[in-house]
Structure 1
Amino acid sequence: EVLAESRVSANGAVGPLAAKAELADDAFAQGKGDFAPANVRSDFRDTILWLPTQETNDEGIADVVVTFPDNLTEWRLTARAITLDDKVGQDSYSVKTSLPVIARLAAPRFFVRGDESSLRVIGQNNLDMDLIARIKLEAKGLIIQDPLQSAAIISAKNRATADFRIKADETGTALITATVLTDQASDAMQLPIPVLPHGIKDNIAWASSNSDSWNFSIPLSADPNTVNGKLFISPSLAAAVSPALSYLAGYPYGCTEQTMSRFYPSVLASQAGDLAMLPDEILDNLDDMVAKGLKRIYNFQHDDGGWGYWKHDDSSLFITSYVINGLLDAAKAGYRTQDYSLNWAIEYLERALENPVSTDNYYRVVDADSRAYAYYALARAERNIDGLGKYVGTKDMSSYGLSLSVLAFAEAGRTVEANLYLDELLSRVSEFDTVAFWKSEVPRYYWNDDQVEATAYGLNAIAKLRPNDPIVAKIVNWLLLERKGDRWYSTKDTAAIVKAALDLAKATNEEAKDLLVTASLNGQEIYSSRLTGQSAEGIEVDLPNLDLNKNKLVVNVEGQGTIYSSANIEYFAEQDSYQATTDGLKIKRTFERLEPVYDKKNQNYIYKRKPLNDAVEVGDYVLVSVEIDPDDQYRYAIINEPLPAGFRVVENDQVFKIN
């Protein structure tokens, strides 16, 4: 209604709405059947064409056929060229696309179900003559509450408008067509506009392994149009080993950790038989890769027997323990290692463990975890680990160190203690419907500040003692979801996951797959396929025709191997009013109207904040304040603060001086 009070005339001045003149019935009927046909424009793009490798002919000319989309606007064409002898140049050209008569639509970018709004159809006459026009609106997915068409006279080089009241009654995507018909030329444009649910997004989820079933219910308050379900069928974690090995092997030599991570996991995989397939480029060059890696590792060893990140920095319990583990496994795989170098490193660990415990509250957890790693390396080297009992299970040790302590006790044959601390480790896990993982509980940027690696070591500990624990499926699912293509976040955590995957595969007797996997939903088969070999790719299956209320999903696996399944159902549950809830964060949102007051002294406007207790109108500015009150420490929080329909964010809000 506010927009309808003014219009922009052909010369850009704002004036009263006069272009939309009422027509007598006989005048409108006179031209009723003589309208020109309208082509519906629906292809609206910002970029028409991108040709990065266009070549010219011998005369330096290249012809390109360009089909313009339906946007009526000014386009900029830019060409950049380079010759074989490295001469460069560029040029640009502008061209406008237009029509004699144009239909435009003024509408919000989205609606919320239940919204009532006014849509405006604008008819623009670019001809030098007045036109009798019919202005129409069609809307699939919306209820139009006014007559579907309006008559108008559009003067030459001017425009006319018609407003149509609508109601968004169903969620989904509304398809809106605005049409302007005249006897000289006509036009129509079509836009899809989302209709969002008036509700809160929620979900239910499930995870399991091999054959299993899931009975679940979707609340009756859920909007059926918003229910969306997916089933994810993932290969075993070992299936991700092959592409990860290619990433690690291709990583350039760098620090001690990166050098070790480059060949160590491939050595493990080479001893795993059918559990992992070594890529051909690694298989053909593994011996040379190990020899070069060991040479560099020995060259980086410090005078005290330990290793740091580099050749001339301080030795580190973490890095020395990691190298010792790698040397032990390389020797086990048959590679020639230097015994004196290994013994020298072990002696460094034993001396370093005699140093006093850190009294720095900030660093204590780093110190405790590094000692756990050292005792794990000593246990694998068949040395005494009695000193571990002073640190394990204390508040100073994070889940990272606790996992390594469990592994150390298990390696030493002390299964009672290993199982005792595994129970404690499991009590710390963050477990949800489909995933489980261990959080980083250490200061930022230290070696052990890595929840992916901490979770890999936790999985290692479970695989050692309880490989069939139901939580394994959730841990594997989380690790697979954290994967970034063929790797995880770093060489360090990728190498840790490769080791965990191979240890789990050995513990559960996994072999190369030859599986028939079928899935059914409410008695109807939705997926069936045979999986062979160690595929690295997961499978995503839609869950169609979900019922509000009771559903049953069944996954059946036949054959040799392991499959991990998870399912997620998302929906919006609608209700008339909502109460504030909290789940770790309390969030308060406040709307205030900004009222401009002119400051004569400084010759600018200052905006006063006023409570927003009534309707807003076109042109009003609204200030949104969001307050966050966490009940715990978080490294970051992502807040989604939805816009009300019809609003836009003011991009450059620094010009606002707010009192």
Structure 2
Amino acid sequence: PYIISMDESMMRAGIAGEPNPLTEIPVLIGYPRYVSIMTDVGGSRDPGEPPLKPSKPRRSRELTVRTKFVDTAFWEPNLLAPGGKASFDIELPGSITTQHLMLVGTTEQCEIGHKTMDVNVLQEFFIQPDLPARLVQADVVEIGASIINRTQVDKTVNLSMQATGLSVMTAPSSGIRVAAGSRKRATWKVSAMRVGMASLRFTAETESHADTAIKEIYIHPKGKPEARHHRGMIDAGRKVINFDVNRDGEEAHYAYITLVPDILHGALDGLESMLGYPHGCVEQTLSFFLPNLLVKRHLEASHRLSASLLDTISDFTVKGIVRFMNFKHHDGGWGWWESDPTSTFMTAQVVQALALASSQGYHGQPGVMDQAISLLMDRQLEDGSWKVEKGFRWDRVPGIKEMTPCIMTASITSALVRSGAMKRHEDPIKDAIEFIKTRTDTIRNDANGVARTCLLLQETDPDSILIPRLVERLLELRQGNTWEGGSALGGTMESTALAMRVLHRHDRERYGVIINEAIKEILDNRSTKGGWNTTSDTVAVIETFLELDDGSTPECSIECALNDFSKKISIDEENLEESIVNMRNISLNNHMVDGRNHLVLDVVEGKKIHYQLTELIWTTDGTAKVEQEFNVKRQHSCTASKVGDAVDVTVRVESLAGIVPFVVIEETIPAGFILEKNSTIEKIGETNMFDHHQVNQHRLLLYPKAFESLTFSYRMIAVREFLGFHPGTTVECMYAPSKGCTAPVDELKVER
């Protein structure tokens, strides 16, 4: 079993139960994110701290070049320590600061030890760059660097900065005098004219010392891009895809190619897209947690799970369990967030996920499952159903505005059955199934609901006379190659995936053509960077693809070529994780030319390989087409300020579609400012309009309760000279990403 140990600052897992007693010491060394106007880390000294002792005489000036600036310097999750002792080597990052070393050890008897200590990284003379966290194209901003002299001798410093991707407008004079045991700051004014990665090389030189720090910062395009997709199937031979690049009329143009040789790779592609999902609620956690375990179980059963892929899946699984434990409510259930009302629907989904994790050796806190299942049983009504919860709008199905008790009960019952609760709660669960059987007429026009109900009966009562009727009705609801509509959280892709699973279980030979047509339709609707429209769509597709996979990987080989770029990808059962990394979102950005481009795909071996070429294009107006579901008005207390000034921002969001749930609002802080966190958190809390928020110095993410209109405010502090744009407020429906709003940008100015 996996042993999970936690404290306020970290969580790690070790394995117990091995034949030979060993101590496993997960080791993490790193530093917390620095909170100050200086955005880099390290180099600070307490007032009155004496200079470093003189170093040994140098034979000649030594140049140190520092390029590695990372938060986590070293991480070893599986350090074996026979007898309780172990040694390890660490290459420290280039930041001159105090690193925090943290060790956690567990034994097979579940004994846990914990130790922290500091490691001081010292250098007597160095340069510390100060860059904004984010740059947007056309920003004119001040960047800085501090020269730190910890010797006992005054230094005359020659300072230089070379930039690639930025235009340097002003630079400090050379020959800067820095007193012993002190620091001095120099500044440059730069213009971010070109989208892409900018590299900056800062060098400080004296007669006896020299230090170089190389930093990179990405320059983002303005606004949101327009996405263009080229999709299709290559049966064999060569495919040429033509697309055009117009450097004069475009601010930026990116292109990616993804290849999917079979449905297993389609499932893995969907899983990859979920791992970095930006939202952090319980449902989003479930959306990467559950598919992870399903993939692991499927690959283990077909003997295709490699050690490296197992490590990746285990890492995300343990993180998910810890997040579930942190979000658990006092009554033993879960909501969408840690402090909102407990949701019967969400509690059932978490129970199902934790049960699957436990069956594969990943355990959370003792008693959690029993407590949650008891809560679900207590909330069951006398007729066997569960009450529909506020906020579940089933409005993707014509004529159906609210989630029906039949669907609510089917979703909870299915989760309980899969969690193994039938053994201890057989009668209440049978009552729920009987309730569903008598209410199928309420969902006859809802393909999603029909499919969910049929899947439940196929698992619990495979001889039910209702199954053929539901299958027949499902076929009647088919439109083209898909099943339209969706659920409260998913859309057409979710409904189609569920229907495919029903037909596959009922008669895979008879419905093989329909299933294959639906697979092609699903792959043709892959989203820009992987997965499908919503997290629920993606989870349904992954689970269906895994169930349809026959356990073998077809060998294939594909060659891609574009101008000066060429790449050959080969796939077999031995390199699944390597091929999924190499086949998804292959960047073509640095290989495109102005005008017509010809991407050539040659299938050397294999057939029926799906491809998707995605273009992301930022035009001069910086706007992308979305369904405008909101009105957003933003006001600044001033648009011209001085360094040190506070700028208050007020945002009002109005829904054009009545009360809406499941929305995320994002505010990005421009390069000349930082967000004043404490007052912002206080103001957000006072509104009582938000279930959750994520606040750092450079971004504000808000997850409001269901609303028709809301107003919030925050404060920015001007920290550097700046002339540029405040990126527009973004509002997005979490389960309908095409619906949202991006407000116009605002021009701001900061002077000294």
TM-score (norm 2): 0.49
CA distance in 1, matches of 2:146, 2:543: 62
CA distance in 1, matches of 2:494, 2:467: 24
* Correspondence for 2:511: 464
Are residues 1:622 and 2:648 paired?
Answer: yes
The residue identity in structure 1 corresponding to 2:651 is: S
2:63 to 38, 42, 67: 38
What is the CA-CA distance between 1:585 and the residue it aligns to?
2.5
Contact 1:586 1:629 in 2 (8 A): yes
Q: Which has the larger radius of gyration?
A: 1
Are residues 1:636 and 2:662 paired?
Answer: yes
What is the CA-CA distance between 1:533 and the residue it aligns to?
11
Contact 1:137 1:179 in 2 (8 A): yes
CA distance in 2, matches of 1:112, 1:372: 49
Alpha-carbon spacing, 1:185–1:553, altered in 2? closer, same or farther (3 Å) = closer
Are residues 1:159 and 2:183 paired?
Answer: yes
2:260 to 233, 246, 251: 233
* Correspondence for 2:522: 475
- Post-superposition CA distance 1:46-84 (Å, at most 9, x none): 3333345556687x7655444432211122334455678
CA distance in 2, matches of 1:559, 1:11: 65
Contact 1:277 1:534 in 2 (8 A): no
2:627 to 583, 587, 594: 583
Contact 1:231 1:567 in 2 (8 A): yes
Alpha-carbon spacing, 1:107–1:180, altered in 2? closer, same or farther (3 Å) = same
Query: SS of the counterpart of 2:216?
Result: strand
- Post-superposition CA distance 1:560-598 (Å, at most 9, x none): 753322222223x241x45796415235251422xxxxx
- Post-superposition CA distance 1:402-458 (Å, at most 9, x none): x75144xxxxxxxxxx5xx534x66864xxxxxxxx5226999xxx99674246558
Are residues 1:453 and 2:480 paired?
Answer: no
Contact 1:222 1:548 in 2 (8 A): no
- Post-superposition CA distance 1:478-523 (Å, at most 9, x none): 589659xxx9988x98775566668xx9xxxxx9846665555579
2:596 to 542, 550, 564: 550
- Post-superposition CA distance 1:441-476 (Å, at most 9, x none): 6999xxx99674246558999983964997651324
Contact 1:440 1:454 in 2 (8 A): no
Alpha-carbon spacing, 1:467–1:75, altered in 2? closer, same or farther (3 Å) = closer
Contact 1:110 1:646 in 2 (8 A): no
- Counterpart mapping for 1:404-483 below 5 A: 405-407=473-475, 418=476, 421-423=477-479, 429=484, 438-440=485-487, 452-454=497-499, 456=501, 464=511, 467=514, 472-476=519-523, 482=531
Query: SS of the counterpart of 2:75?
Result: coil
Are residues 1:168 and 2:192 paired?
Answer: yes
Equivalences, count? 474
Alpha-carbon spacing, 1:43–1:10, altered in 2? closer, same or farther (3 Å) = closer
Alpha-carbon spacing, 1:369–1:218, altered in 2? closer, same or farther (3 Å) = same
* Correspondence for 2:584: 540
The residue identity in structure 1 corresponding to 2:133 is: R
Contact 2:68 2:94 in 1 (8 A): yes
- Counterpart mapping for 1:277-316 below 5 A: 279=302
CA distance in 1, matches of 2:145, 2:568: 47
CA distance in 2, matches of 1:479, 1:146: 47
Query: SS of the counterpart of 1:198?
Result: coil
- Counterpart mapping for 1:559-570 below 5 A: 562-570=608-616
What is the CA-CA distance between 1:220 and the residue it aligns to?
4.7
2:227 to 203, 208, 213: 203
Contact 1:135 1:152 in 2 (8 A): yes
Alpha-carbon spacing, 1:217–1:466, altered in 2? closer, same or farther (3 Å) = farther
Alpha-carbon spacing, 1:51–1:535, altered in 2? closer, same or farther (3 Å) = closer
Contact 2:222 2:622 in 1 (8 A): no
What is the CA-CA distance between 1:178 and the residue it aligns to?
2.4
Alpha-carbon spacing, 1:635–1:493, altered in 2? closer, same or farther (3 Å) = farther
Contact 1:221 1:574 in 2 (8 A): no
Contact 1:584 1:632 in 2 (8 A): no
Contact 1:79 1:91 in 2 (8 A): yes
The residue identity in structure 2 corresponding to 1:440 is: S
Alpha-carbon spacing, 1:556–1:636, altered in 2? closer, same or farther (3 Å) = farther
Contact 1:231 1:566 in 2 (8 A): yes
Q: What are the ranges of 5 or more consecutive residues in structure 2 without an aligned counterpart?
A: 1-36, 49-58, 272-293, 305-379, 386-404, 412-429, 687-712, 715-752
CA distance in 1, matches of 2:436, 2:200: 73
Alpha-carbon spacing, 1:358–1:117, altered in 2? closer, same or farther (3 Å) = same
Contact 2:124 2:149 in 1 (8 A): yes
- The alignment yields a C-alpha RMSD, in angstroms, of 5.9
Contact 1:527 1:541 in 2 (8 A): no
Contact 2:169 2:188 in 1 (8 A): yes
Contact 1:222 1:574 in 2 (8 A): yes
Query: SS of the counterpart of 1:453?
Result: helix
Query: SS of the counterpart of 2:520?
Result: helix
Query: SS of the counterpart of 1:150?
Result: coil
CA distance in 2, matches of 1:474, 1:136: 56
Query: SS of the counterpart of 1:422?
Result: coil
The residue identity in structure 1 corresponding to 2:592 is: L
The residue identity in structure 1 corresponding to 2:148 is: Q
2:204 to 171, 174, 180: 180
CA distance in 1, matches of 2:100, 2:564: 56
* Correspondence for 1:48: 73
What is the CA-CA distance between 1:175 and the residue it aligns to?
1.7
Query: SS of the counterpart of 2:668?
Result: coil
CA distance in 1, matches of 2:188, 2:663: 42
Query: SS of the counterpart of 1:227?
Result: strand
- Post-superposition CA distance 1:140-174 (Å, at most 9, x none): 22222235642222222222232222222222222
- Counterpart mapping for 1:86-97 below 5 A: 89-97=113-121
Alpha-carbon spacing, 1:317–1:468, altered in 2? closer, same or farther (3 Å) = closer
- Post-superposition CA distance 1:167-198 (Å, at most 9, x none): 22222222222232223433332211222223
What is the CA-CA distance between 1:96 and the residue it aligns to?
2.5
What is the CA-CA distance between 1:527 and the residue it aligns to?
4.2
Contact 2:560 2:602 in 1 (8 A): yes
Contact 2:454 2:467 in 1 (8 A): no
* Correspondence for 2:677: 651
Contact 1:217 1:548 in 2 (8 A): yes
- Counterpart mapping for 1:60-209 below 5 A: 62-81=86-105, 89-147=113-171, 149-209=173-233
Contact 2:136 2:222 in 1 (8 A): yes
Contact 1:131 1:156 in 2 (8 A): yes
Alpha-carbon spacing, 1:642–1:230, altered in 2? closer, same or farther (3 Å) = farther
Alpha-carbon spacing, 1:64–1:489, altered in 2? closer, same or farther (3 Å) = same
The residue identity in structure 2 corresponding to 1:570 is: L
CA distance in 2, matches of 1:10, 1:516: 57
What is the CA-CA distance between 1:531 and the residue it aligns to?
6.6
Query: SS of the counterpart of 1:570?
Result: strand
Alpha-carbon spacing, 1:466–1:554, altered in 2? closer, same or farther (3 Å) = farther
Contact 1:37 1:181 in 2 (8 A): no
Alpha-carbon spacing, 1:105–1:111, altered in 2? closer, same or farther (3 Å) = same
Contact 1:134 1:152 in 2 (8 A): yes
Alpha-carbon spacing, 1:48–1:558, altered in 2? closer, same or farther (3 Å) = closer
- Give the percent of matched residue pairs that are identical in Structure 1 and Structure 2: 14
Query: SS of the counterpart of 1:369?
Result: helix
Contact 1:121 1:162 in 2 (8 A): yes
Query: SS of the counterpart of 1:39?
Result: strand
